[in-house]
Structure 1
Amino acid sequence: MTSSTSSSRFRVSSAVFNLLDPIPFGFFVATLIFDVIYASNANVMWAKSASWLVSMGLLFAIIPQLINLAWVWFSKRRVRTRGAAINFWLNVIGIVAALINAFVHSRDAYAVIPDAVWLSVVTVVAMGIGRIILAGEIVTFKESGHGKV
């Protein structure tokens, strides 16, 4: 029984990607919720908390997207699927919107709304659609392989 190093590398990177990929999405959803709450009651605490959440989401988005970049564009052994490429670009759009949102949140709290809300919506929608496409692709792959991964 032999084991190839390339497949174990993909297993480790897959495990790290699957572990870390949902974390920034959760931070960005929480940012959207906090921005909507701040827009409705104007309590500065919600805007400051949202700025921390978007910053933490950006920090946690780095590693999974670098792995995704390597899988989709630089890997010679892995098959690039259309869904993985669409997920990659939707995540890039979401991260760019989140980065702009972090700069918006660096303003005075009263100058954050409405820009922060629509940037949070763009981030969550783009990353959410990417996750849905990727999940549908994984299910299709498993169904076509009769449960073999």
Structure 2
Amino acid sequence: MTVETHPSRFSVTSAVFNLLDPIPFGFFVGALIFDVIYAKTANVFWMKSAAWLISIGLVFAILPQLINLGRVWFGKNRVRVRGEKINFWLNVIAIVAALINAFVHSRDAYAVMPAAVWLSIATVLAMGLGRIILAGEQTHIQGVRP
């Protein structure tokens, strides 16, 4: 068995990206949970809390994607992996869906349903799928070959 090693690509931007990238996913999953609870209970607290989670998730989603833009598309001497490009575009789709969801959450009371739930599902699925593809690609690159 041989293990492929790759040179370390550590930089400050990589550290900031790796620190901030998982944060929005947690906020968006929380917003999805709160949207589902609101759809079942009609308690306005859950809708307002989901709106806050989406807004905070969007704040934390922008900087890592700007760093990712530079890493994937403009990095020097960088091997571009197809999975990184797909992850980038799925994250862009998730951010757009979350932005639309933030506008939907600005509506009054039950007018946010069912659009809020569907947009939350789309956001979480896009980000989750991007992470799954990226993890599979990195496992393939750094994996052990027989």
Whole-Å separation in 1 of the counterparts to 2:27 and 2:62: 13
Paired residue for 2:59? 59
Whole-Å separation in 1 of the counterparts to 2:145 and 2:15: 20
| 2:94 matches 1:94 | yes
- Relative contact order higher in (CA < 8 Å, ≥ 6 apart): 2
| 2:130 matches 1:130 | yes
Paired residue for 2:74? 74
Cα 1:95–1:145 change in 2 (3 A) is farther
Offset at residue 9 of structure 1 (A): 7.8
Which structure 2 segments of 5+ residues have no match?
1-6
The two structures, once aligned, show a CA RMSD in angstroms of 1.8
- The structure where helix makes up a greater share of residues is 1
Whole-Å separation in 2 of the counterparts to 1:72 and 1:144: 25
Paired residue for 2:49? 49
3-state DSSP class of the match of 1:55? helix
2:143 alignment partner AA:
E
Paired residue for 1:14? 14
Could you tell which deviates more after superposition, 17-26 or 71-80? Answer: 71-80
Whole-Å separation in 1 of the counterparts to 2:85 and 2:144: 20
1:54 alignment partner AA:
I
Paired residue for 1:4? none
Paired residue for 1:143? 143
Offset at residue 49 of structure 1 (A): 0.2
Aligned residues: 140
Whole-Å separation in 2 of the counterparts to 1:105 and 1:83: 32
Paired residue for 1:103? 103
Offset at residue 98 of structure 1 (A): 0.1
3-state DSSP class of the match of 2:143? helix
Whole-Å separation in 1 of the counterparts to 2:140 and 2:27: 28
Q: In 2, are the aligned partners of 1:48 and 1:109 still within 8 Å (CA)?
A: no
Structure 2 length as normaliser, TM-score? 0.90
| 2:37 matches 1:37 | yes
Q: In 2, are the aligned partners of 1:87 and 1:131 still within 8 Å (CA)?
A: yes
Q: In 2, are the aligned partners of 1:30 and 1:53 still within 8 Å (CA)?
A: yes
1:110 alignment partner AA:
Y
